[in-house]
Structure 1
Amino acid sequence: MKHLLILLFALLGFTSVFAQTPLQNAEEFYRQGKFSAALGLYEYDLKTHPNDPYVYYNIGNCYFKMGSMGLAAANYYRAFKLAPRDADIRNNLSLALSAGGESLVPAGVPPVLHKAFFSLSYDELKGLAMVLWWAFCLLACVWLLKRRGGKITLTAALLFALTAGWFYLRHKTETEPLAVVAAPVAEIRSGPGTNFPASASVAQGHLLTVQDEKDSWYEVIVKSQGIKGWVNKNAIEQI
């Protein structure tokens, strides 16, 4: 019986070594500098955790280590949308964007204000707006029926109005059709095809706003430079 128990514990220990999850294997590959192998496992994990900001963050880290600053920035940006308060995500996104000549904080906007604007995730802000709306409705009903609580009702109305305005601005930001240059260089052409002349070349990591599409081309605006034109779809990564 004693030998049987020893054998059982030995087998459990042996199988535990090989029972690592894909995520654990990915972390091990990353520590060993095998970034391509780690990337494949992180992307596999993304299929079952499509809204996990840290999976996107890890994918961004792999691309960053592999020198693909554009794809790194795209995945950091996806992580930032889901977890905007995370300091590591914010710092790595800023670093990847700066490598391409971009800045996370728009020119003229104080960094403190930018952090405050993204202090809540989109879903958190949406939930807060809904809570304030129902609180205002409840307080308004009390005031209409009993003529009591006028000041607190007014305060709730003001808070809801401010939060609703904040949510509206965030909604515009969240739904903006952003993309990033993923190729080493993207040629901006005057029309959707190689028969149109190139008006500019943009390095990887630059942020773009997608305006239109035709066949294998996107009409874009380079956010930092205000350049408008057409770029091949293969040269950019939509966020």
Structure 2
Amino acid sequence: RPVLEAFLLLVPPVAFLLTWISVGWPHLAGGSRSTRGRQKRALAQLQKAATMADVASSFHIALATRFEHEATEGVTAWLSDARAITDAQTVEEITHVTRVLEQVQYGGQSLELNELRNRAIAVIRALDRQLSDRNVSTVPCHRQSRTKHAGRTASIVVMALGLLWNWHTAMAGTQQTRPIPATLSHEQRVQLFQEAADAYDAGLSHDSNDAASARVSFETAATKLQMLVDSGIRNDQLLVDLGNTYLKLGDKGRAAGNYYRALHINPRSAPARTNLAFLNQDKSASPIDSNRTSFESHEPDIWRRVIVATMAIPYTVLRLGLATAWCTAWLWFAAVVLFGKRWSKWVLISAIALLMTAGGLVAFQNFANPYSDIAVVATPHLQLRAGNGDSFPAVGGELPTATVATTLEHRDGWVKLNAGNGVIGWSRIDDVIITGT
């Protein structure tokens, strides 16, 4: 991902630089040399023309190599640009020879072959002399024509970027950590939450005198709460309750993982912080409940509303906004600087505003929350691998449950982790709990 994002970032300025070189200094791109070669070959072909049809075709090709327009546009489209750099006599000769050739071909008018060929050659040589005096190899096309060429070039660039972006987002789509089930209805949420609360309270009542019954109750509560979380509810209190339930079951890995997920939603969650401190064997702390009052996603203060709203924006949408703004700004710059097109300044202002907004949100998502991209080992004795598969060799020693690592990359049901102390390897996604999921 970082390599591809860097590539997408560099495509617009590199395309602009190459276009700038080809427009401003065609000889640096080899354009001038190849153009003069085509001009010489076209003139030689005209000199060897043996029929009127050959003269007409060779004359048309010789003119086409000396204009920036495409050959299919015809001589009429070129004459307005020729007047800007050649004298009136040359323009008149071009028009006259063209009309005579058309009359000979289609009107049946008879004319001496050598005479017409010599006039055509004289016109081409006169045009070459005037181009040489101006120190150019071709007649510059009109601004409107340049804009048309710019539009075609921009379309190609946009199409290429679109394909690359589709590939990028498709790759990002395959990195979904776990499928999210269909959202539960309100009635189903109410029922699940009530059943989970009843089971948790029953487990607390049996905890001191009937360990087996207490465990069954806590397992039931964990199952119900996990279903609520998997349905897409973003609520730090619900995650703390789920973590506490796993802690009652002795599953420190899943308990710590859900506490970190709660902190990812609300970095100031006191129950999550306190219970993590208890897991880290801080004797001054003891596990506390979240004082649950609801199973719905909610954020009671403005700071938490801002964090949750920002974190809820899909990262793919932000990347798409960045790419759109970046490409729009460069297209505007290229159209104005290279091709002289007058685009509204509001296009650039809008692109810059979108670029700053999307960039700021990406930066906030990546750096403002210290609990992003965290993975907690949820199984005992996790062994990292050198690649995303069991066939790869082991990396480092076994990681105990509740070990905290940083996620680096997702691929085909595996996640690349940085466990610290230089230990970097791959784990199955099901063996860890990742914040933000």
Aligned partners of 1:218 and 1:233 also within 8 Å: yes
The C-alpha deviation readout for 1:111-156, integer Å capped at 9, x for no partner, is xxxxxxxxx53725989xxxxxxxxxxxxxxxxxxxxxxxxxxxxx
How does 1:82-231 map onto structure 2 within 5 Å?
A: 82-96=265-279, 98=280, 120-121=303-304, 123=306, 168=363, 171-174=366-369, 176-200=372-396, 201-222=398-419, 224-231=420-427
Aligned to 1:16: none
Q: Which has the higher contact order (CA 8 A, sep 6+)?
A: 1
Q: 1:173 to 1:73 in 2, by over 3 A?
A: farther
Question: Match for residue 21 of structure 1?
Answer: 194
| Change in 2 beyond 3 A, CA 1:88/1:212 | closer
Change (3 A) 1:209 1:23: same
Among residues 236, 247, 251, which one is paired with 1:53 in the alignment?
236
Paired position in structure 1 for 2:97: none
Distance 1:80 1:218, change over 3 A: closer
TM-score by length of 2: 0.33
Go from structure 1 to structure 2 and tell me whether the alpha carbon gap of 1:86 and 1:237 turns closer, same or farther (over 3 Å shift): closer
Q: Is the contact between residue 60 and residue 73 of structure 1 (CA under 8 Å) also seen in structure 2?
A: yes
SS in 2 for 1:42: helix
How big is the shift at 1:63?
Answer: 0.8
Residues 56-108 of structure 1, C-alpha deviations (whole Å, 9 max, x = no match):
11100011111211111111112223333332221112333x26xxxxxxxxx
**C-alpha separation between the residues in 2 aligned to 1:55 and 1:125?**
15
**Judging changes above 3 Å, is the alpha-carbon distance between structure 1 residues 94 and 191 closer, same or farther for their aligned structure 2 residues?**
same
Residue 430 of structure 2 aligns to a residue whose secondary structure is helix
Of 199, 203, 211, which aligns to 1:30?
Answer: 203
Q: Show CA shifts across 1:41-67 (max 9, x none).
A: 323444678122111111000111112
Residue 187 of structure 1, CA deviation: 0.8
Q: Is the 8 A contact 1:43 1:59 kept in 2?
A: yes
Q: Deviations over 1:3-32 (max 9, x none)?
A: xxxxxxxxxxxxxxxxx9335413423323
> Using the alignment, how far apart are the partners of 1:217 and 1:77 within structure 2?
20
Counterpart AA for 1:21: Q
Q: How far, CA to CA, are the matches of 2:222 and 2:266 in structure 1?
A: 21
Q: Which runs of 5+ in 2 are unaligned?
A: 1-192, 206-213, 282-302, 311-359
Identity among equivalent positions (%) equals 25
**CA positional deviation for 1:185:** 1.3
Amino acid aligned to 2:408: Q
- Asked if structure 2 preserves the Cα contact closer than 8 Å seen for 1:122 and 1:170, the reply is no
Paired residues, what number? 163
CA distance, structure 2, for counterparts of residue 225 and residue 168 of structure 1: 27
Select the structure that is richer in strand.
1
Which residue, 403, 408, 430 being the options, matches 1:234?
A: 430
Change (3 A) 1:236 1:214: same
Shift of 1:213: 3.0
Could you tell me whether the CA contact under 8 Å between 2:265 and 2:308 is conserved in 1? Answer: no
The separation in 2 between residues aligned to 1:203 and 1:65, in whole angstroms, is 19
SS at match of 2:416: strand
**What is the one-letter code of the residue matched to 2:222?**
L
Are the aligned partners of 2:408 and 2:415 in contact in 1 as well (CA < 8 Å)?
yes
Seen in structure 2, the aligned counterparts of structure 1 residues 26 and 46 have a Cα distance that, compared at 3 Å, is farther
Residue 203 of structure 1: CA displacement?
1.0
- Aligned mates of 2:412, 2:309 — CA distance in 1: 36
**Root-mean-square deviation (CA), in Å?**
3.4
TM superposition shift of 1:169:
5.9
SS at match of 1:176: coil
TM-score (norm 1): 0.56
Higher radius of gyration, 1 or 2:
2
Equivalent-residue separation in structure 1 for 2:199 and 2:425 (angstroms): 39
The Cα of 1:192 is off from its aligned counterpart by: 2.3
Letter in 2 for 1:64: L
2:225 maps to 42
**Contact in 2 for aligned 1:219/1:231 (Cα 8 Å):** yes
Question: Aligned partners of 1:176, 1:24: CA distance in 2, in Å?
Answer: 29
Any idea what SS the aligned residue of 1:210 has? Answer: strand
